[in-house]
Every structure is written in structure tokens, then in C-alpha cells.
Amino acid sequence: MTLHAAIFYVLSAVTVVATAMAITRRQPVHAVLYLIVAYLSTAGLFFLLGAPLLAAFVVIAYAGAIMVLLLFVIMLFQQSPRELGVLSEWWPATLLGVVFLAVAVGMVFKDPGSMIVLQGNGVQPRDFGHFVFDRYWLAVEIVSILFLVVLVAIIQLGKRREAGTEGIEKCKM
């Protein structure tokens, strides 16, 4: 088995395990954090397979923007603060994080003089942009409208919550 295949299988296993952990968690914040690990390992797979632009899109759009938005919504609607769990609840996340970090360090700092070469295909961003916007322009526009609707809905829900708490504070005086 080559180093390329070993890294691929480890990242694939991290993706599957993190997704399974996200599905089985009762705490929504824990589920979101496991989803972030799954997205990061998916980005590692894309990078390994020769699509660094797609890997950057996954990190920026999904692991960054969408997960932060989802965490904001969870925190907005959470009624009472939760206590930190016991250490036995932290071991799966710690294990997945350590495995992901080891694979990422191995990909970045591989020995340049080694006989193992990580070969990948390269796609120019211009070619990727032409492909997406020529064939899937309608899907891109629909997704952008959905993002706009979600953003407006979150702003409105936040304003309603602030308005509701102001009325309660006035009644207490």
C-alpha cells in the first residue's frame, strides 16, 4: 500500500466516523463540531485527489461559513447554558482530531527526498469556474438565494428575540 492510499483510507475513515458521531450526538453543538471534522477531512480528500480549489471551497464555505451560521442558530435558540461534559465524552473528538492532525502534518511535511511521491491531478480555477457556471449556473443561483433567505431569517429571528427580552425587562421595572 502506498502512502497516498494510506492517507486516503485514513481520511475516509475519519470522514465516516465523524459523520456517524455527528448523527448520534444529543447535543447539537457537539454534532456541529463533528460535522466540521468531517468537512475538514473531506477537504483533505479533495486536496489529495488533485482538487485544491474544491478543498478550499469546502473549508471556506462549509466548515467555515455554514457551520458558523449553524452554531449561531443553535446558540440563539438554546435556552439554558450547558455544562461541559465529563472527559469520557471528549475522547472520540480528541481521537478524531489527533488522527486528522497527524494526516494533515504528514501531507504537508512529507520528506522531499523520499521514494514515495504523492501524485495528484491539477485543475485550474478558471477551468473549474467555466465548468460550474456553464453547466450548473441555475444550481449556483438557487444556492445563493437560499443563503440569502437563511441570512435574512436569522437576522429577523434575532431581532424578535431582542424585542421580546426588552419587553420583559420593562415589565420587571
- Domain locations in the chain? 3-135
CATH of region 3-135, choose from 1.20.120.1200, 3.40.50.1000, 3.40.50.2000, 3.30.200.20: 1.20.120.1200
Is residue 11 predicted with pLDDT exceeding 70?
A: yes
| One-letter amino acid of 92 | P
* pLDDT score, position 163: 63
Highest mean pLDDT among 11-25, 79-93, 139-153: 11-25
* pLDDT score, position 2: 78
CB 58 within 8 A of CB 41: no
Burial (CB count <10 Å: 0-12, 13-18, 19+), residue 139: exposed
Q: Which pLDDT band, with edges at 50, 70 and 90, does 98 fall under?
A: confident
Cα angle 152-157-158, degrees, rounded to a multiple of 5: 100
How far apart are the C-alpha atoms of 20 and 25, rounded to whole Å? Answer: 9
Helix/strand/coil for 133: helix
Q: Which pLDDT band, with edges at 50, 70 and 90, does 80 fall under?
A: low
Is residue 158 predicted with pLDDT exceeding 80?
A: no
Check: pTM over 0.85? Answer yes or no. no
